[in-house]
Amino acid sequence: MSIREKTLLSIVITILFLFLLIYGTSETLLLGSFANLEENLVLQNVNRAKLALSSDIDQINSTLGDWAPWNATYTFINDRNQKYIDQNLNIESLANLRLNLILFLDPSGKLVFAKAVDLQAGKELPIPPNLLSNLFSKGSLICHNESDMFKGIVLLPEGPLLISSQPILTSTWQGPVRGTLIMGRYFDSELEHLSELTQLPLFSRRIDDANLPTDFAAAQSHLSIEKPVLIKSLSQDSIAGYALIKDVYGDPSLIIRVNMPRDIYQQGRSTIYRFYLFILFIGLSITALSLLLLDKNVLSRIGRLGLNVRNIGLCGDISPRVQVDGDDEISSLAAMINEMLDRIDRAEGELRISARLAAIGEMALMVGHDLSNPLQAIMTSVYLAKEKLNKYSLQNQKDPMMQDILFALSSIEKQSNYMSEILSDLHDFTRPLNPKIVDIDILSFVKKVIAMMKIPKNIEVQTEIEGGLTWKGDPTMMERVLVNLINNAIQAMPDAGKLIVAVTGSEEGTVLKIKDTGTGIPPELISKVFTPLFTTKSRGIGMGLVIVKRLVEAQGGSINMESVMGKGTVAIIRMPNRKT
């Protein structure tokens, strides 16, 4: 079977499998998502109802906060004056505050005054018998201290009561406490107001009701202080949220139910049916489109890639590269093939360099061994000859031949020193490096190196180094590195220029830059400056920067060169922070 047939069969099987998988799991996943969305909406509405109830209790508490700490109330609890009753405790005042009950108690908890009102009928009601004993059945709500305050729900035989209890104080909140003021509002009559306020159908039942409806009884078995909210679907068209409400003592007292139609769920079922049709259409479209695009976007490109690789293998030249357009796995494969060819090319270059370095090492050992002793003998002989001729020259200062001989001997000595430097470079290149790492104060070290060098007068030297910077390195090695790089910079500015030595530090390490304003290095040569035996100078064998690179890397650092023709060159040394 060809790749084309295998690919087409894979697409068809995959689309069929996905369709069946979506069809089989949509009831769980998609309808589950709609159900979760529906439950979240119900939960929000339940929380709205709870918040409305809490706000209602807070409103009673706020009203009480205006009455209890009031001089008039503080006086009334002692003298029971009729004026206070007529002005503040009439039916209209309590109706405006939507209060069914108001109680004044003395510090011992004895009832001083009480009034009950039917808000719907607008008339006064008799005080329920055993009101205080029922009100305090679970615990006292008497405020003995200035900071005491109670608010919440109390279950009475007459029905659930929203109450607030605060100590009676002066208008400046001063004591001593003269009693307790309690305000209450019956929850059953308030439920309709809360429904209108929240625009939600609200229903409630007492937790101790012996005749709870079936759904309330089922909800009660699942509700608890730890899990006070329950969402439950009643049918395909209705869903409800139940909330457990605690009384003023923190015990379960009421169950509130919020009813909602299941519009989201029904919309989800309709959406899933249309989704089935859409998936089927998409599957057929993908299959047809795959037949048209398969050859153009995949198989033909793979064929061209294979042909390019085959041609490179046949010609034996790895310099050509494969070409594949696009930005996908096939183009990535082409890029990896090209990267592999690049690595092979670099490996061959490194092998050539390694062979060259090995040859240099052998040559250095041979040259150092064969030329070191004769060169030292020549330099010694020249030195002795100059010493003798200098004495003779002092006695015969006008002998021109003697001056010529001295000049010739000086030239021989200069060239011998230059040859000695070359041998030293070759020797340094072959010998193993064992840096002795110590802390180096960069500012003083750089100044010391610059001070010991012979800087031409036409070269301006500038240092940009922060005080207190240090690096860990071998002072001898770093001195040679700086001397070599500074000499190179000076030689790049034969007429005049500026030499800048800059050092910056960070958490990663230290960066040293040696900049010159010379002629610069051509771009095609900048990558070769660290190659052994490569040089752009008329003199030298091209080992200076190679040795500099070895010295820097032996200390854990790195070096690179940047240059702009006509503007100058900068050598950048990076020394990491390391332990000695």
Residue 422 and residue 412: Cα distance in Å, rounded? 15
The residue behind tokens 């200069």 is 414
573 CB burial (10 A radius; 0-12, 13-18, 19+) = buried
CATH architecture of 435-576: 2-Layer Sandwich (3.30)
Domain 68-193 CATH assignment equals 3.30.450.20: yes
CA contacts within 13 A on the Cβ side of 484: 21
- Other beta carbons less than 10 A from residue 555's beta carbon: 21
Residue 39 and residue 33: Cα distance in Å, rounded? 10
Q: Contact, 73 vs 67, CB < 8 A?
A: yes
Query: One digit per residue, pLDDT tens: the chain, 580 residues?
Result: 777 677 778 878 887 887 777 777 776 777 778 888 888 999 999 999 999 999 999 999 999 999 999 999 999 999 999 999 999 999 999 999 999 999 999 999 999 999 999 988 889 999 988 888 889 988 889 998 999 999 999 999 989 999 999 999 999 999 899 999 999 999 988 888 899 888 899 999 999 888 999 999 999 999 998 999 999 988 888 899 999 999 999 999 999 999 998 888 788 778 877 877 887 788 778 777 877 777 777 777 777 777 777 777 777 676 777 776 777 777 777 778 878 877 877 777 666 655 665 565 556 556 555 666 676 667 777 777 767 666 666 555 556 666 667 667 677 766 666 566 555 655 555 566 778 888 888 888 888 888 888 888 888 888 888 777 888 888 888 888 888 889 888 888 888 899 999 988 877 788 889 999 988 888 888 777 777 665 666 555 556 788 888 888 888 888 988 988 888 899 999 888 754 4
Q: Contact, 518 vs 568, CB < 8 A?
A: yes
Tokens standing for residue 536 = 């752009």
Q: Which of 167, 179, 176 is nearest to 79 (CA)?
A: 179
DSSP class of residue 334? H
- Other beta carbons less than 10 A from residue 119's beta carbon: 19
Residue 22 and residue 25: Cα distance in Å, rounded? 5
Q: Which of 560, 559, 534 is nearest to 357 (CA)?
A: 534
CA contacts within 13 A on the Cβ side of 368: 17
Domain ranges of the chain: 68-193, 435-576
- Other beta carbons less than 10 A from residue 321's beta carbon: 14
- Other beta carbons less than 10 A from residue 211's beta carbon: 7
Residue 331 and residue 323: Cα distance in Å, rounded? 8
pTM comes to 0.47
Q: Contact, 268 vs 174, CB < 8 A?
A: no
